[in-house]
């Protein structure tokens, strides 16, 4: 997109460079390496919608990077400068992301060149419906072949329209709801999907801070408590990550960077109030709870412990990488660091928790939603009360023993309340996500520490993922 300087490789080339760096350390046959690198197909569609008295033509994309597993999975982005290069880069990241978190999908991504802020909700619904129609009739949206999800500029509303359009065109498909994820709950969605990517960033950081060796590699100490964090982009991902890290882990969000500038407060920003201000005014200017910084990009270079780029690709590039002071960067966005900047930061000893892992929380919970749709039952529906009654048995027995033996123990009401409550869908989703983020991080860090030729987590993540994709192709005899 526009933020990648013209003298640097494009987003797609950047991802390829990162892939190549990892592939060079593997003994893949050249044919297989090429097969995994390239994007299988990109469909470009131009369609017209009658709006405001005239026909408006829109350009949309759906790119499929790898079909080693089907369906392929990945979001649909609405942004004015969506282009083929970007969609292909994002589709390939989806392949490696899914492989790393063991979501059984190939990689795909879609995009529509549109500024969603220029259209009202009804108009957007009509545009989305038409785009969905074009993709559905070519099986580029299909529960067993290609399952989109939200991305930048899209959310539950668009996903509900896509699901409805698919159901209209496939009236006898009992699994129709599984054709898209990120739907609202009343349209077959799952609890915890909206917060999932931000929650995944939080779980990723928690896992990072469980490993003293890794904390040391980033020149940090302790845990998340009191850590100073810069968040770039307070959209769905940045907002939830910032909120959870502040409220549940005691971190301080000292800077938030948005379209119109940045806002700064050494004591930590009130994230909910700031989000409400952004929604109401369109930016961070005039926010009472902090100092406004006109040159937003300069705040990326401020002193901090953790930097969370959570918006566009290419925001950390050769023009600013050398001045970044954060010792730890976690890529909540896709591709926020260009390949050139990645080299500069590595030289400086900055630890980067890479996008293919860091923002995989979204697709992980999408996977749970897809499974829920195919099984036609909400998670926890069968077990919850049974679990509660077994816990009640134990609590009652403990209280009886305490009484009968005269020990006089009393269980604290807080413990009883927490212990007696069986897990509902949200708790189960969070538990599944937490487990996924821990396991994937451990797979990556093992490679990072065990192999002397692997300098960073990104290369380790690519090595783990490429090996899994290769194994899957080999098993098919390809």
Number of residues that bind ligand GLU (CB under 6 A): 11
Q: Among 42, 92, 366, 436, which residue interacts with ligand GLU (rule: CB under 6 A)?
A: 366
| 50, 73, 97, 109: the active-site residue | 109
Query: Which of residues 128 and 359 has its CB atom nearest to ligand GLU in the complex?
Result: 359
Q: Is 334 in the site for ligand GLU (CB under 6 A)?
A: yes
- C-beta closer to ligand GLU: residue 79 or 363: 363
Q: At what angle do helices 339-348 and 11-23 cross, to 10 degrees?
A: 60
Tell the smallest beta-carbon distance from residue 160 to ligand GLU (Å). 15
Min dist. Cβ of residue 147 to ligand GLU (A): 7
Which of the stretches 3-11, 42-50, 298-306, 357-365 binds ligand GLU when contact is defined by CB under 6 A? 357-365
The answer to whether residue 363 forms part of the interface with ligand GLU (CB under 6 A) is yes
Strands 306-309 and 328-330: parallel
| Stretch touching ligand GLU by CB under 6 A, among 42-50, 71-79, 213-221, 228-236 | 71-79
Q: Among residues 365 and 447, whose Cβ is nearest to ligand GLU?
A: 365
The three-class DSSP label of residue 87 is: helix
Report the nearest approach of ligand GLU to the CB of residue 429 (Å): 13
Binding mask 129-168 for ligand GLU (x = CB under 6 A): --------------------x-x-----------------
Instruction: State the minimum distance, in angstroms, from the CB of residue 206 to ligand GLU.
Output: 20
What tokens appear for 135 in the block? 């993709």
Closest of 238, 246, 155 to residue 193, by C-alpha:
155
Integer CA distances (angstroms), 342 to 157, 311, 321, 322, 445, in order? 36, 17, 8, 10, 18
Calpha distance 370→177 (Å, rounded): 8
Active site residue 109: yes
Task: Answer yes or no whether residue 73 interacts with ligand GLU by CB under 6 A.
Answer: yes
Nearest to ligand GLU of 188, 362 (CB atom): 362
Tokens 């408006």 sit at which residue?
Answer: 56
- Count Cα atoms within 13 angstroms, Cβ side, for 473: 21
CA distance 245 to 262: 19
d(CA 315, CA 232): 9
106-113 and 228-232 beta bridge pairing = unpaired
Residue 42's nearest CA partner among 113, 99, 90, 100 is 90
- From the list 22, 36, 63, 75, which residue makes contact with ligand GLU (rule: CB under 6 A)? 75
Q: Residues 66, 95, 181, 465: which binds ligand GLU (CB under 6 A)?
A: 181
Judged by CB under 6 A, the residue of 362, 373, 434, 437 near ligand GLU is 362
Burial class (CB in 10 A: 0-12, 13-18, 19+), 105: buried
**Least gap, CB of 363 to ligand GLU (angstroms):** 4
Check residue 88 for interaction with ligand GLU (CB under 6 A): no
Q: Is 251 exposed, middle or buried (0-12, 13-18, 19+ CB in 10 A)?
A: buried
Query: Which range touches ligand GLU (CB under 6 A), out of 138-146, 223-231, 289-297, 359-367?
Result: 359-367
Cβ atoms of residues 189 and 378 within 8 Å: no
Positions touching ligand GLU (CB under 6 A) are 73-75, 149, 151, 181, 334, 359, 362-363, 366
């Amino acid at each position: 997109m526009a933020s990648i300087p013209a003298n640097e490789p494009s987003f797609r080339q950047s991802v390829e460079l990162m892939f190549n760096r990892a592939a060079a350390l593997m003994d893949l046959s050249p044919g297989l390496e090429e097969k995994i690198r390239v994007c299988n197909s990109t469909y470009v569609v131009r369609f017209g919608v009658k709006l405001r008295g005239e026909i408006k033509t829109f350009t949309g994309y759906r790119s499929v990077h790898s079909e080693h597993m089907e369906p392929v999975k990945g979001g649909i982005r609405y942004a004015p400068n969506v282009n083929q290069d970007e969609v292909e880069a994002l589709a390939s990241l989806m392949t490696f992301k899914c492989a790393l978190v063991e979501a059984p999908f190939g990689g795909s991504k879609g995009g529509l060149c549109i500024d969603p802020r220029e259209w009202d909700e009804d108009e957007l619904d009509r545009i989305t419906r038409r785009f969905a129609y074009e993709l559905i009739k070519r099986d580029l949206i299909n529960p067993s072949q290609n399952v989109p999800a939200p991305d930048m500029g899209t959310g539950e509303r668009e996903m509900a329209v896509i699901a409805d359009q698919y159901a209209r065109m496939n009236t006898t498909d009992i699994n129709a709801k599984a054709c898209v994820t990120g739907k609202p709950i009343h349209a077959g969605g799952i609890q915890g999907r909206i917060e999932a990517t931000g929650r995944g960033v939080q779980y990723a950081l928690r896992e990072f801070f469980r490993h003293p060796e890794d904390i040391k590699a980033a020149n940090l100490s302790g845990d998340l408590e009191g850590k100073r964090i810069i968040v770039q982009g307070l959209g769905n991902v940045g907002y939830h990550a910032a909120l959870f890290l502040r409220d549940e882990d005691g971190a301080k969000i000292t800077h938030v960077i948005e379209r119109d500038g940045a806002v700064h407060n050494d004591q930590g920003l009130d994230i909910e109030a700031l989000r409400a201000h952004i929604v109401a005014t369109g930016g961070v200017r005039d926010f009472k709870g902090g100092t406004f910084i006109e040159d937003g990009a300069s705040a990326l270079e401020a002193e901090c412990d953790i930097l969370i780029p959570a918006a566009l690709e290419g925001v950390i590039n050769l023009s600013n990488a050398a001045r970044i002071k954060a010792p730890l960067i976690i890529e909540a966005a896709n591709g926020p660091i260009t390949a050139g900047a990645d080299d500069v930061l590595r030289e400086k000893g900055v630890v980067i928790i890479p996008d293919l892992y860091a923002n995989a929380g979204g697709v992980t919970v999408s996977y749970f939603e897809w499974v829920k749709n195919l099984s036609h039952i909400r998670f926890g529906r069968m077990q919850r009360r049974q679990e509660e009654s077994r816990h009640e048995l134990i609590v009652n027995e403990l209280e009886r023993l305490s009484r009968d033996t005269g020990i006089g123990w009393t269980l604290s009401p807080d413990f009883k309340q927490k212990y007696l409550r069986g897990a509902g869908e949200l708790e189960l989703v969070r538990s599944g996500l937490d487990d996924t983020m821990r396991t994937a991080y451990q797979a990556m860090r093992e490679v990072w520490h065990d192999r002397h030729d692997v300098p960073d987590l990104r290369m380790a993540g690519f090595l783990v993922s490429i090996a899994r994709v290769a194994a899957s192709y080999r098993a098919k005899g390809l």
